[in-house]
Chain A
Amino acid sequence: MNAPVPVESPVADTYQDYFINMGPQHPSTHGVLRLVVKLAGETVLGVSPHMGYVHRGIEKMGEAQTAMQFTHLTSRLDYLSAHMNNWAWAMVVEQALGVQVPERAEYLRVIMSELTRISSHQLWWGVFGMDLGAFTPFLYAFRDREKVNDIFEKTCGTRLTMNYIVPGGVMEDADADFEKDTRAFLEYFKPLIEEYEQLLSGNIIVQERTKGVAVLPPELAKSYGVTGPTLRASGVDYDVRKNHPYGVYPRLSFQTALATEGDSWARYKVRLEEMRQSIKIISQALDQMPKSGPVRAKLPAVLRIPPGRYLSRVETARGELAIFLVGDGKPLPYRVKIRSPNFSNLSAFPAIIKGWRVADIVTAMSTFDLVIPDIDR
């Protein structure tokens, strides 16, 4: 039975405390994140995350670039949710300028975002397997993720930093095969989630290492501003797509994936369920999407952000991304603040990992699904 060791217990005192550095190059951190771990034997007494290794000053750069130019930097925040990041920026600029986005563009945005969510969760699933020492899931995940990337490449020309969703709509209309390709992918991928379940979920080692491990209680999660699948695994029914509907999400019927246990296993199950829900959303959006029409609203040549405060909120694959924009009527934004989901999610991590073992850090952090450039900005 999995249970944390109380850190005040005599067991913890028997050993002399020592510190180890996990990272910045540790493979399980999936980027450059350093965790200073205080240990007694193998029991974790405390974790102190150190970040900033990929701090690029994106917020400061936002004050020196026009609204259109800055779109390209948002792709580099959470590079696995590039479409959603672009959307958050596009939405805050449209809100400031009062732009109405053409309907076809709204549907393209939803489809692209949900495809991104699937591809992001695929990558997470593969890497989760690898963190636990199973290499096969990684190959399976990348086999399927390639199919999504092919769709992106055909439409946007890129596979990682999309820059497709721009203020006013989308950069270009989707290619002629887009609908056919996407439907073919959905048909292809739907049965494969079951394969994922068979390959990893049923594995007794995976279950033993995740069930009951690193439980995130809902009240703690709320206080730390945790969002996304990590929060929903703790039983809090919060999804920006439902609570603050944007785009054409109100027209699409889907369920938020929920679990109540709050442990690593629950976070794992929630992400698998989210992929199923995304498939549902995409097929509805494809049915409803106008077959032709404009995809980009006409914008003034110089985007002057009117004086005032603006806020956009988007559900990325990891949680809520909010972009706060202050304008002063000049062509350059006065202040850009990016509220990254990973930043807040990571802040809850030290509180829940106390008393667990070193190996549990790896599994728990993997189920938090952190993307470090999004934390550092």
Chain B
Amino acid sequence: MSTPTPDQTPAPPPGLPPELEALRDKLAAVLGTDAVWELKGKLPAFRLPAKAIVSACKTLRQAGFDYLLFVTAVDYPSENRFEIVYVAGQYNGPDQIALVTDIPRDNPAVESVSQVWDTAEWHEREIFDLFGIRFENHRDLRRILLDDTWEGYPLRKDYVDKVHNVVKRPY
């Protein structure tokens, strides 16, 4: 496999634990040059373009990550993007890794990974329900938590609850 070019993987900050370094090297080798290592906070992640996400998930599953903890989204309205986060773990090992991808906020859609892990089906339905993000090739894309008549997507940052009139606290 090709190794990432130096400009894509910046030198790790001093003190990166050896097990994270090993994880990064192992996964960078299988995920290819599309994937860029990213360690913000404590959860190690790889950033990928949206169109590469399904094949990356398949590769990840073959590499022993047979456990998808969850899929979720984070809204960044000021940067006009949603970040989709896939967190995968192992049923017989200690490793955990997140795959993140950006999709545009004005036409949010991404390929479903429910063909890779069955559990993604419901997690993607939840994102569809609460963020209004469409998942292509999803088996059963319906609302899951909210009522069918609900308007708006509550977990978006610009959502205003007109009915319950929730006032944002000043702190």
- The reply on B94 being an interface residue by CB < 8 A is yes
Q: Are A324 and B87 in contact (CB under 8 A)?
A: yes
Inside 8 A of B154's CB, which chain A residues have their CB? 57, 60
In this complex, what residue of B is CB-closest to A218? B91
Q: Are B67 and A309 in contact (CB under 8 A)?
A: no
> Mask for A324-367, Cβ within 8 A of B = 1, else 0?
10110001101101010001100110010000000000000000
- The reply on A36 being an interface residue by CB < 8 A is no
- The reply on B144 being an interface residue by CB < 8 A is yes
- The reply on B34 being an interface residue by CB < 8 A is no
- The reply on A225 being an interface residue by CB < 8 A is yes
Q: Are B155 and A310 in contact (CB under 8 A)?
A: no
Known: A244-B94, A310-B42. A225 touches B145 (CB 8 A): no
Inside 8 A of A324's CB, which chain B residues have their CB? 43, 70, 72, 85, 87
Inside 8 A of A95's CB, which chain B residues have their CB? 42
Q: Are A309 and B98 in contact (CB under 8 A)?
A: yes
> Mask for A363-377, Cβ within 8 A of B = 1, else 0?
000000000000011
Q: Are B43 and A311 in contact (CB under 8 A)?
A: yes
In this complex, what residue of A is CB-closest to B146? A52
Known: A222-B67, A334-B74. A347 touches B91 (CB 8 A): no
Known: A55-B146, A309-B45, A322-B69. A237 touches B92 (CB 8 A): yes
Inside 8 A of A344's CB, which chain B residues have their CB? 70, 119, 122
In this complex, what residue of A is CB-closest to B129? A52
Q: Are B70 and A222 in contact (CB under 8 A)?
A: no
Inside 8 A of A311's CB, which chain B residues have their CB? 42-43, 87, 96, 98
Q: Are A55 and B145 in contact (CB under 8 A)?
A: yes
Most buried by A among B87, B90, B93, B147: B87
- What is the bound-complex CA distance between A376 and B146, given in angstroms? 10
In this complex, what residue of A is CB-closest to B100? A309
Q: Are B40 and A307 in contact (CB under 8 A)?
A: yes
- What is the bound-complex CA distance between A223 and B122, given in angstroms? 12
- Could you tell me which residues of chain B, from 112 to 171, have a CB within 8 Å of some CB in chain A? 117-119, 121-122, 130, 143-147, 154-155, 166, 168-169, 171
Q: Report, as a range, how many residues of chain B touch the other chain.
A: 35 or more
- The reply on B68 being an interface residue by CB < 8 A is yes
- What is the bound-complex CA distance between A59 and B155, given in angstroms? 8
- The reply on B41 being an interface residue by CB < 8 A is yes
Inside 8 A of A66's CB, which chain B residues have their CB? 171
> Mask for A77-101, Cβ within 8 A of B = 1, else 0?
0000000000000000001100000
Inside 8 A of A351's CB, which chain B residues have their CB? 118
Known: A52-B145, A64-B169. A238 touches B92 (CB 8 A): yes
Inside 8 A of A237's CB, which chain B residues have their CB? 92
Q: Are A223 and B41 in contact (CB under 8 A)?
A: no
Contact of B91 among A59, A220, A238, A335 (CB under 8 A): A238
Inside 8 A of B40's CB, which chain A residues have their CB? 307-309
Inside 8 A of B166's CB, which chain A residues have their CB? 64
- The reply on A4 being an interface residue by CB < 8 A is no
Most buried by B among A57, A225, A326, A331: A225
Known: A52-B144, A55-B146, A376-B145. A337 touches B72 (CB 8 A): yes
Known: A96-B42, A243-B94, A307-B40. A347 touches B155 (CB 8 A): no
Instruction: List, sorted by A's number, 22 A–B pairs whose CB atoms are closer than 8 Å.
Output: A64-B166, A220-B118, A222-B66, A223-B117, A223-B118, A225-B68, A225-B119, A243-B94, A308-B40, A308-B43, A309-B45, A311-B42, A311-B87, A322-B87, A324-B43, A324-B70, A327-B41, A332-B171, A335-B72, A335-B75, A347-B118, A347-B121
Which residues of A come within 8 Å of B, CB atoms? 51-52, 55, 57, 59-60, 64, 66, 95-96, 220, 222-225, 236-238, 243-244, 306-311, 313, 320, 322, 324, 326-327, 331-332, 334-335, 337, 339, 343-344, 347-348, 351, 376-377
Which residues of B come within 8 Å of A, CB atoms? 40-43, 45, 66-70, 72, 74-75, 85, 87, 90-94, 96, 98, 117-119, 121-122, 130, 143-147, 154-155, 166, 168-169, 171
Q: What are the 9 closest A-B residue pairs judged by CB atoms, nearest first?
A: A308-B41, A225-B119, A52-B145, A308-B40, A339-B70, A309-B43, A223-B118, A337-B72, A309-B41
Given A309-B43, A309-B45, A339-B87, 15 more contacts at CB 8 Å? Answer: A57-B154, A64-B169, A66-B171, A223-B118, A225-B68, A243-B92, A243-B93, A309-B40, A309-B41, A309-B85, A310-B41, A313-B96, A322-B87, A348-B118, A377-B145
